[in-house]
Amino acid sequence: MPPKANPAKLNPLQLRTLTLLQAIARLPQAGVPQADGSIAITQFPHAHGDHFHLGEHTVASSDATGLENEAVWNALTRKGMIRAEWPHNIALTPEGVAYDTGLAGQILQRGGHH
């Protein structure tokens, strides 16, 4: 369920995508902190079957459709959550890093196989 306060008025797909970008940015092999407080994302996870792994979490592939969607990248850029040049690079802005989507507990499942 989306957070009660969603000041950027992100739609459900944008919220899910931002949640995943935040999780990816926390992975040492995928997120590179920048001097301006943003975090460049250098790797996306690779799905196998109907899910993929983010560190110790398992994520349904159906929750990740926005990661490779140019319209979602453009919307998150307009709303100040990311800086992106489709499809070559993406970075979470400090606002994107700090934004509480309220979805992490629903999308990022603990456990699964390794």
Work out the average pLDDT over 94-113.
90
Region 8-31 average pLDDT: 96
Cβ neighbours of 28 (radius 10 Å): 7
What is the set of domains in the chain, with CATH numbers? Answer: 12-110 (1.10.10)
- In tens, the pLDDT along 20-76 reads 999 999 999 999 999 999 999 999 988 888 999 998 999 999 999 999 999 999 999
